[in-house]
């Protein structure tokens, strides 16, 4: 059995729910065949989120880590290719912190690439009927903080773990007027199960050689 740790965030920015945690909980409750999945909620707080993630890795000893965050306005699940070493918060986190142009890890490399097969994961979600795409920016808020921080943990402390980050759209209850894209957390969870099943059997170096690039 492949041991998977999946994380989502607590609500932030005045929202009552966070679909990343809703979807993570659903996947843990009904994991793909051959995988055991544990879900952990991360605080939407710079620094503390990585402390909780590190403790969860130490406690659960996963083979695979998938961290999730909310990306309101995106129409599908977006698998992040890279996390960058900068915190630049447009809004305060849930503890009131608002770092500007500060490194996630002082002295760390400029970026970490996902160690998941991002294109194969996207293809698997699309095949499952869930809209998905590769993303080349995880932003500069707590989501990127965790995406980069996970890469650093894998590179420096947990080399036997593979991991990456994905953003999920708003849940329908967050946009009741229908003016922005939304996906039910159950639909997101369905796609994430396909993602995890693919990631568990596909090393990053065997990712699909297909175009998923962007011109801007």
Q: Give the active site residues.
A: 80, 143, 167
Task: Copy the structure tokens of residue 142.
Answer: 């707590």
Task: Work out whether strand 64-70 and strand 2-9 pair parallel, antiparallel, or are unpaired.
Answer: parallel
Please answer whether residues 147 and 60 qualify as being in contact, where contact means their C-beta atoms are separated by less than 8 angstroms: no
What's the CA gap between 41 and 186, in Å, rounded? 17
Query: Rg of the Cα trace of the chain?
Result: 16
């Amino acid at each position: 059995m492949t041991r998977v740790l999946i994380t989502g965030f607590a609500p932030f920015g005045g929202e009552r729910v966070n679909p990343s945690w809703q979807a993570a909980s659903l996947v843990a409750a009904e994991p793909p065949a051959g995988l055991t999945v544990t879900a952990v909620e991360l605080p939407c707080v710079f620094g503390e989120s990585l402390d909780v993630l590190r403790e969860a890795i130490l406690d659960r000893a996963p083979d695979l880590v998938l961290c999730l965050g909310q990306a309101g306005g995106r129409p599908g699940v977006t698998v992040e290719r890279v996390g960058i070493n900068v915190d630049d918060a447009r809004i305060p986190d849930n503890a009131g912190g608002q770092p500007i142009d500060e490194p996630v890890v002082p002295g760390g490399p400029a970026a970490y690439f996902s160690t998941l097969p991002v294109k194969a994961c996207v293809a698997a979600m699309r095949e499952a009927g869930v809209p998905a795409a590769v993303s080349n920016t995880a932003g500069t808020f707590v989501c990127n903080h965790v995406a980069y921080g996970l890469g650093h943990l894998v590179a420096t402390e947990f080399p036997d773990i593979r991991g990456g980050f994905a953003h999920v759209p708003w849940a329908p209850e967050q946009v009741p007027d229908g003016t922005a894209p939304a996906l039910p957390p159950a639909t997101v969870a369905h796609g994430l199960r396909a993602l995890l099943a693919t990631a568990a059997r596909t090393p990053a170096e065997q990712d699909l050689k297909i175009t998923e690039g962007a011109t801007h």
